Amino acid sequence: MVRRLLAPLLLAVALVAAPAAPIATAAPPPPPPAEDPFYVPPDPLPGAPGDVLRQRQVDVYAEPLRVLPAPVRAWQLLYRSTSATGEPNAVSGILLVPPVPWSNGPRPLVAYAVGTHGLGDSCAPSYRLATGTENEVVLIAQALTRGWAVVLTDYEGLGTPGTHTYATGQSEGRALLDAARAAQRVPEAGLAADGPVGLFGYSQGGQAVAFAAELHPSYAPELRVAGAAPGGVPADLVEVAKFNDGGPAFGLVIGAATGLATAYPDVPFEEILNDRGRALVERVKEACTVELGAAAPFGRLAQFTTVPDPLDDPRWQARLAENRAGQHAPSAPVFLYHGTLDELIPYRVGRDLRDRYCDRGATVRWQPIPLAEHIAGVAAGGPIAMEWLGQRFAGAPVVDSCGARAE
């Protein structure tokens, strides 16, 4: 629905910004990532984290008819990053730069982490923006209309060959930081290496932002991160899995197990799946958001495995613990928000993340979104978070909620 609301706005902006031209016809669709050599990384991988391995300028669209390109400059990127286990990898993404001139110092850059898009390569935001099917264009446009550049990561394995490491914060956080590095290394974009960077994301994207903020001081200290705005964060995967086991969106649990098992080959997964589980995983690997969530409604993990509770295994417990957000204090200020009636990621999970950050000395602005379920949480909280990032770019004082915590 949000895409339909934004499409007329972007089309109107394009008509104002562009000179008169003949009536356009629909552009031919690009090939999906699985059929596009651009997404296949070189072997061996050259360079260092954040280095651009490949780039190409593309048109992006706000609507699937693809009649009129959005009025931004856009580059699809393939860049070097690092896996959850510390191995070099290649991740794809897309950089958007608005045509609005920026004269107040270096142009700010928002490193944007999308919420759950699925595990199939065709779910990648770099592809969906090129096909006019990206469902987060409203929030992306809010950054662009302020004159900020935006870079989106596809995450590890989403677009590029291999299975997406869905729900793996250690991988997502590095991919997001390296997307910011890569954006600053595209000469045509004109972004300064010392320009301010804001981190923004919700749900899976909130997980990516939380880990990027925590990893920033050690992994990418040269980035000038002005603030991090994670929302609806699945900060404790064990709690989230238990909450959704047997629920209507159980497919997300299987998706997370598939992603984590891809990131960490040492955890038992394929060998403990029963026939029903193997069939479900094969479906999930190609699913985008709706198909993923509805893959096995009201299913339970025990119905798809040969062991009563896979999460009891010490190997799973160790890897899940590595991906529990809040173990390190971000050095940049954090705007953390969560819907009080979130039906996918319990409110207490977000509140507990706030407490862990505060206890470790982070600067946190905590914003509950009253009476909001998961989607309403970002619909209401996302624009507030974007405004908060604008205040950080402007150097405004930070309000810290840690000294007066409330439910």
> Does residue 235 have a pLDDT over 70?
yes
334 with 366: CB under 8 angstroms?
A: no
361 pLDDT more than 80? yes
- Is pTM beyond 0.85? Reply is yes
Which of 258, 288, 321 lies at the terminal end of a domain, its last residue?
321
- pLDDT digit string (tens) for 255-307? 999 999 999 999 999 999 999 999 999 999 999 988 998 899 999 999 999 99
CATH number at 259 reads 1.10.260.130
Same domain, 253 and 121: no
Give the pLDDT score at 28.
83
What is d(CA 363, CA 365) in angstroms, rounded to the nearest whole number? 7
57 and 146 share one domain: yes
* Shared-domain flag, residues 121 and 245: no
Same domain, 210 and 270: no
Task: Judge if 218 and 107 occupy the same domain.
Answer: yes
Q: What is the residue range of 135's domain?
A: 2-235+334-404
Q: Supply the pLDDT for residue 135.
A: 95
How far is 76 from 79, CA to CA, in rounded Å? 10
Q: Same structural domain for residues 186 and 288?
A: no
For range 333-358, the mean pLDDT: 98
Model confidence at 45, pLDDT cuts 50, 70, 90, reads: very high
Same-domain check for residues 312 and 196: no
Mean pLDDT value across residues 335-349: 98
Q: Is residue 243 part of a domain?
A: yes
Q: Which of 321, 347, 379 is the last residue of a domain?
A: 321
Q: Is residue 258 a contact partner of residue 163, using CB atoms and an 8 Å limit?
A: yes
Measuring CA to CA, which residue among 18, 168, 192, 188 is closest to residue 81?
168
Residues 165 and 27 in one domain: yes
Q: Is residue 298 part of a domain?
A: yes
Do the beta carbons of residue 84 and residue 264 sit within 8 Å? yes
pLDDT at 24: 54
Does 391 reside within a domain? yes
Write the DSSP string, 91-156. EEEEEEE-SS---SSSPPEEEEE----BSSGGG-HHHHHHHT--TTHHHHHHHHTTT-EEEEE--T
407 band by pLDDT with thresholds 50, 70 and 90: low
Task: Give yes or no: residues 86 and 10 share one domain.
Answer: yes
Question: What does the pLDDT read at residue 29?
Answer: 85
Residues 36 and 174 in one domain: yes
pLDDT tens-digit map of 47-83: 999 999 999 999 999 989 888 999 999 999 999 999 9
Do residues 249 and 267 both lie within one domain?
Answer: yes
The model's pLDDT over 148-168, given as tens digits with 9 standing for 90+, comes to: 999 999 999 999 999 999 999
Tell whether the model's pLDDT for residue 15 goes beyond 70.
Answer: no
Q: What are phi and psi of 387, to 5 degrees?
A: -65, -40
Of 64-68, 136-140, 221-225, which range is least confident? Answer: 64-68
Q: Is the peptide bond before 268 cis (omega within 30 degrees of 0)?
A: no
* Overall domain count for the chain: 2
Q: Say which residues have a Cβ less than 8 Å from residue 55's Cβ, sequence separation at least 6.
A: 75, 76, 77, 78, 186
Same domain, 7 and 127: yes
